[in-house]
């Protein structure tokens, strides 16, 4: 009969599948470890060997989600995963990148500019739901169809 995997083996199996935050890894391993000190020592060792990195996890998460979501939603998701606020601040996209993402999201969903104020509010709510802040929403609505207006289409 096979022995159950050790705590280290379980951790490595999880890390081999995808990047994960330290807090989430601890939560997944907690059921298999009765000694909290042993778990913390393992997590420290994995971090020291760079096998687990909250910075790498946050960068990968932002890289995959930023084209569709604003920094408010990204910040909330990373915070709920136990990532440090300073680290989150460092990996979030800058204002210009976020505006470009908001414009792309807006143009993908809505093929033409809003015809009236009700439609404009609909566009604004859509971007806000995606996690873009009010300044980014305003800039995206100003810029989204500017190129079309200049070219005459």
Q: What is the mean pLDDT of residues 62-86?
A: 95
The pLDDT tens digits for 6-34 are 999 999 999 999 999 999 999 999 999 88
What SS3 class is residue 26? helix
Give start and end residues of each alpha helix (H) in 18-153: 22-29, 36-48, 54-65, 71-80, 85-91, 95-109, 117-129, 134-143, 146-151
Half-sphere exposure of 46 (CA within 13 A, CB side): 27
| pTM of the complete model | 0.84
The structural domains of the chain, ordered by start, are 1-52 (1.10.10.10), 95-151 (1.10.10)
Distance CA 32, CA 6 (A): 9
- Phi, then psi, of 87 in degrees rounded to 5: -65, -40
pLDDT in tens, 77-101: 999 999 999 999 999 999 999 999 9
């Amino acid at each position: 009969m096979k022995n159950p995997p050790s705590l280290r083996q379980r951790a490595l199996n999880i890390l081999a599948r995808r990047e994960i935050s330290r807090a989430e890894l601890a939560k997944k391993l907690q059921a298999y470890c009765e000694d909290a000190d042993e778990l913390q020592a393992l997590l420290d060792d994995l971090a020291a060997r760079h096998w687990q990195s909250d910075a790498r996890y946050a960068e990968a998460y932002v890289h995959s989600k930023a084209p569709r979501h604003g920094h408010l939603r990204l910040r909330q998701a990373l915070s709920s995963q136990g990532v440090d606020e300073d680290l989150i601040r460092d990996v979030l996209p800058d204002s210009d990148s976020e505006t470009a993402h908001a414009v792309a999201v807006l143009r993908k969903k809505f093929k033409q500019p809003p015809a009236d104020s009700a439609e404009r509010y609909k566009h604004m709510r859509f971007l806000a739901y995606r996690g873009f802040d009010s300044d980014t929403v305003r800039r995206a609505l100003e810029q989204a169809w500017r190129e079309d207006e200049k070219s005459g289409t």
